[in-house]
Amino acid sequence: MSQSITATAPATLANLGSGFDVLGLALAGDGDTVTARRLRGAAGVHIEAIEGDDGRLPTEAAANTAGVAAIETLKLAGFTDVGVALTLKKGLPLCSGLGSSAASAAAAAFAVNQLLGGPLRKIELVGPCVEAEAVVSGRHADNVAPALLGGLVLVRSLDPLDLVRLPVPEGLTLAVVTPDFDLPTADARAALPDAVSLQTMVGATAQIAALVSAFWSGDMSLLSRGLTDSVVTPARAALIPGARAAMAAALDAGALGSGISGAGPSLFALCRSNRGARAAMDAMAEAFADAGLPAVGRISPADCPGVRLI
Amino acid sequence: MSQSITATAPATLANLGSGFDVLGLALAGDGDTVTARRLRGAAGVHIEAIEGDDGRLPTEAAANTAGVAAIETLKLAGFTDVGVALTLKKGLPLCSGLGSSAASAAAAAFAVNQLLGGPLRKIELVGPCVEAEAVVSGRHADNVAPALLGGLVLVRSLDPLDLVRLPVPEGLTLAVVTPDFDLPTADARAALPDAVSLQTMVGATAQIAALVSAFWSGDMSLLSRGLTDSVVTPARAALIPGARAAMAAALDAGALGSGISGAGPSLFALCRSNRGARAAMDAMAEAFADAGLPAVGRISPADCPGVRLI
């Protein structure tokens, strides 16, 4: 058994198109980093330090996604007598819709599993990370699955867990823009309708079916047509100043489609190329500026790796 | 302009899996046949004769799907001054869930378009056929689209019409069993819920996304897992004696999945091979027999041609 393991997990974009709680993908760039260290003479998970959260995250393991993911990983692997100390370095902003809680969970689960000698396969870490997400933002796997596995992941079922890796057409690139606006995940969830009409359900199934077909075929026009969502995106866009204008600006700038990343307030635009993504990013940032919100943008290929050791 | 054209359109299976109003495919075997003949000195569409319906279908053109499809095709092609006489030969049973109304519409639209010299492309005939369907069973294209185009068709949008042909894995075969039970389309539609929970919508999108991915990848296990439906199938199965037992029997016989064909009462089983489909067909027919209903079965490859001239 190793003495200390450090892992980093990326930002993720969930709720792609009509794929609320169903479709997510890994993003490039800095993520969250967790170091797991063996504690002698003590069982359980202890969070020793958290950097980069401005003191906002709980250090109690059972209330922190890194802590819960570590606890559940130890439990699943049958190592409940082992003591683990975690240090968490947040690279991702909290409550931004970039899968910050999922990244912490994925990095912690992966680091702890490696510390134990790797008894679990990567895909088996999804379950512990879903339990971690459930503590802070509801049971869903469309952030933790791509944070662990990388790429574009379809969550067919949560119980039992059933994940499908989807192909990503060459060149497909994301612009993600995060406005300086606080939108707690709980508020974003509360904005959703409890029920939808049967007709709306039919529309959502038609959209996601077209989107998945476009990922397989590489038909960028179909991908664009299939990327809309009439349920979750409109409900949440109303909560984010400038969001509607920013999404429209991304389309005007040539993006295939646009939407809210995760629970928001970050927005994404899916684009044919890196150059197109830069134009969409600038257009979205400008729309947020017009609404009085400074914003930070990032560009990412649509097919990026998940968690890794560092 | 020709004097007389005869076309035949196949049975179709709609509402595949969670693809209510969204996914349909063409079946092999006898369909409905329409002869369109030029009428001199008279404008509009006149139905001269209908065979094989036991006198149940209206001969008024505006109330008959063949008639409406012909009228709308003339209108779309700009030939409203032309007179057309139709004779319709029903090869498909009425109200069986096999797309009987769609087959009549597709055969009529195709025959009339050919009679006019083919001014419209086949895909342009979908609109006129949707208007025909609307007269008898609601606006939906998942029967008329495969009846015209053949194969497995995804209806991304009805207005504007947006159709996607999906690939069909080699060997995939259907067993379709029609019990001797009258289930009017209107009753089958009335059994559906007006609304579903957001969670149910998420489940439906996850299922159809997996199903579409499986059609592309040929992953038969995923196809099987993605073929379920928790909304429409349970609501309608309750209306058809023996349906639940027949669907369970198909799975026991090795089918990948089973469900209701269109509005029912026909059931289908999707199978890996012709041999598997025969076993599923026999098992479903036996279950209907146990419920006191004689039943007729058919076997079809999953990738069959649409309307054609004869």
Give how far A120 is from chain B: nearest CA, Å: 23
Q: Which residues of B touch A198 (CB under 8 A)?
A: 192-196, 231
Tell whether A230 lies on the interface with B, counting CB pairs under 8 A: no
Cα separation, B279 vs B265, in Å, equals: 20
Check whether A2 has a pLDDT greater than 70.
no
Check whether B83 has a pLDDT greater than 90.
yes
Give how far A85 is from chain B: nearest CA, Å: 37
The verdict on a CB contact (< 8 Å) between A164 and B231 is no
Q: Which residues of A are catalytic?
A: 133, 185
The verdict on a CB contact (< 8 Å) between A201 and B231 is yes
Give how far A181 is from chain B: nearest CA, Å: 26
Tell whether A159 lies on the interface with B, counting CB pairs under 8 A: no
Q: Are the C-beta atoms of residues A1 and A40 closer than 8 Å to each other?
A: no
Catalytic residue among B33, B87, B185, B233: B185
Give how far B167 is from chain A: nearest CA, Å: 10
Count A/B contacts: CB-CB distance under 8 Å. 120
- Give the pLDDT band (50/70/90) at residue B73: very high
Q: Are the C-beta atoms of residues A174 and A271 closer than 8 Å to each other?
A: yes
For A216-246, write each residue's pLDDT tens digit. Answer: 999 999 999 999 999 999 999 999 999 999 9
The verdict on a CB contact (< 8 Å) between A156 and B195 is no
The verdict on a CB contact (< 8 Å) between B195 and A192 is no
| Other Cβ atoms within 10 Å of A238 Cβ, number | 11
Tell whether B228 lies on the interface with A, counting CB pairs under 8 A: no
pTM higher than 0.95: yes
Three-state DSSP class for residue B196: strand
The verdict on a CB contact (< 8 Å) between A194 and B192 is no
Please, what sign has the CA dihedral across residues B143, B147, B152, B155?
negative
Closest Cα partner for A92 from A204, A9, A181, A191? A9
The verdict on a CB contact (< 8 Å) between B204 and A209 is no
**Residues in Cβ contact with B54 at an 8 Å cutoff, skipping those fewer than 6 apart:** none
Tell whether B222 lies on the interface with A, counting CB pairs under 8 A: yes
Of A166, A195, A204, the CB nearest to B213: A166
**So what's the ipTM on this one?**
0.96
Q: Which residue has the higher pLDDT, B255 or A41?
A: B255
Q: What is the DSSP pairing of strand A173-179 with strand A44-51?
A: unpaired
Amino acid A1: pLDDT: 56
Amino acid A59: pLDDT: 93
Give how far A197 is from chain B: nearest CA, Å: 4
Asked: is B173-301 a CATH 3.30.70.890 domain? The reply is yes
Cα separation, A75 vs A44, in Å, equals: 10
Q: Which residues of B touch A216 (CB under 8 A)?
A: 212-213, 216-217
The verdict on a CB contact (< 8 Å) between A222 and B19 is no
Tell whether B191 lies on the interface with A, counting CB pairs under 8 A: no
- Mean pLDDT, range B122-142, rounded to an integer: 95
For A166-190, write each residue's pLDDT tens digit. Answer: 999 999 999 999 999 988 778 888 9
Most B CBs within 10 Å, among A152, A197, A201, to test the B interface: A201
Tell whether B201 lies on the interface with A, counting CB pairs under 8 A: yes
Tell whether A195 lies on the interface with B, counting CB pairs under 8 A: yes
The verdict on a CB contact (< 8 Å) between B157 and A209 is no
Of B162, B210, B231, the CB nearest to A164: B210
Check whether A300 has a pLDDT greater than 60.
yes
Check whether A17 has a pLDDT greater than 70.
yes
**Residues in Cβ contact with A194 at an 8 Å cutoff, skipping those fewer than 6 apart:** B197, B198
Q: Are the C-beta atoms of residues A53 and A136 closer than 8 Å to each other?
A: no
Q: Which residues of A touch B195 (CB under 8 A)?
A: 195-198
- The secondary structure of residue B254, as a DSSP letter, is T
Amino acid B1: pLDDT: 56
Give percent of chain A with pLDDT exceeding 70. 99
Tell whether A157 lies on the interface with B, counting CB pairs under 8 A: yes
From residue A193, alpha-carbon distances to A140, A197, B187, B193, B204 in Å are 17, 10, 29, 17, 16
**Residues in Cβ contact with B278 at an 8 Å cutoff, skipping those fewer than 6 apart:** B175, B299
For B207-248, write each residue's pLDDT tens digit. Answer: 999 999 999 999 999 999 999 999 999 999 999 999 999 999
Amino acid A184: pLDDT: 79
- Give the pLDDT band (50/70/90) at residue B33: very high
Lowest mean pLDDT among A184-188, A232-236, A286-290, B296-300: A184-188
Amino acid B2: pLDDT: 65
Lowest mean pLDDT among A138-142, A282-286, B66-70, B148-152: A138-142
The mean pLDDT value of chain A amounts to 96
Amino acid B211: pLDDT: 98
Amino acid B243: pLDDT: 98
Q: Which residue of B has its CA nearest to A156?
A: B206
Check whether A14 has a pLDDT greater than 70.
yes
Query: CA dihedral defined by B181, B187, B191, B192, rounded to 10 degrees?
Result: 120
Looking at domain A4-167, which CATH architecture does it have? 2-Layer Sandwich (3.30)
Question: B265: cis peptide before it, omega within 30°?
Answer: yes
Q: Domain extents for chain B?
A: 4-167, 173-301
For A107-138, write each residue's pLDDT tens digit. Answer: 999 999 999 999 999 999 999 999 999 998 88
Amino acid A138: pLDDT: 86
Of B156, B202, B210, the CB nearest to A207: B156
Of A154, A211, A231, the CB nearest to B210: A154
Amino acid A41: pLDDT: 86
Please give the backbone phi and psi of residue B232, each rounded to the nearest 5 degrees, phi first: -80, -45
DSSP secondary structure string for all residues of A195-239: EEEHHHHHHHHHHHHHHHHHHHH--HHHHHHTT--SSHHHHHHTT
- Mean pLDDT, range B15-21, rounded to an integer: 95
Amino acid B307: pLDDT: 98
Amino acid A258: pLDDT: 98
